[in-house]
Amino acid sequence: MTEVTVLYFATYREQAGVTTERITVTGDEVDLGELMRKICLKHPNIASNPNKIVAAVNEEYQDHSHVLNNGDTVALIPPVSGGCQTC
């Protein structure tokens, strides 16, 4: 069992309705992808595809195969957009 703190930023914060929460995921080796699927089940407005969520674990960007440790902090960061469309 792995318990992590999840931080929600920008649109993810609005969609989840919380800024932070503790989430427990059962299993021997819980990876970031499994946590993303659990978050999307709990907060279906966040993403229709959990594989597209960008996350940082303990302030380092990680891919979804990254194995989580008990007590990790996971930040969900929405895609960045903007800039010049004609440049």
CATH number for 46: 3.10.20.30
**What are φ and ψ of residue 67, in 5° steps?**
-80, 130
pLDDT digits (tens, 9 = 90+) for 41-65: 999 988 767 777 899 999 999 999 9
Is position 82 within any domain? no
Q: Are 33 and 49 in contact (CB under 8 A)?
A: no
pLDDT at position 83, please? 55
Q: Which domain holds residue 52?
A: 2-77
Is position 7 within any domain? yes
Is position 84 within any domain? no
How many domains, the chain?
Answer: 1
pLDDT at position 46, please? 87
Is position 87 within any domain? no
Q: What is the pTM of this model?
A: 0.87
Task: Report angle CA 4, 32, 57 to the nearest 5 degrees.
Answer: 60
Tokens of 65: 């195969």
pLDDT at position 78, please? 84
Q: Which amino acid is at 79?
A: P
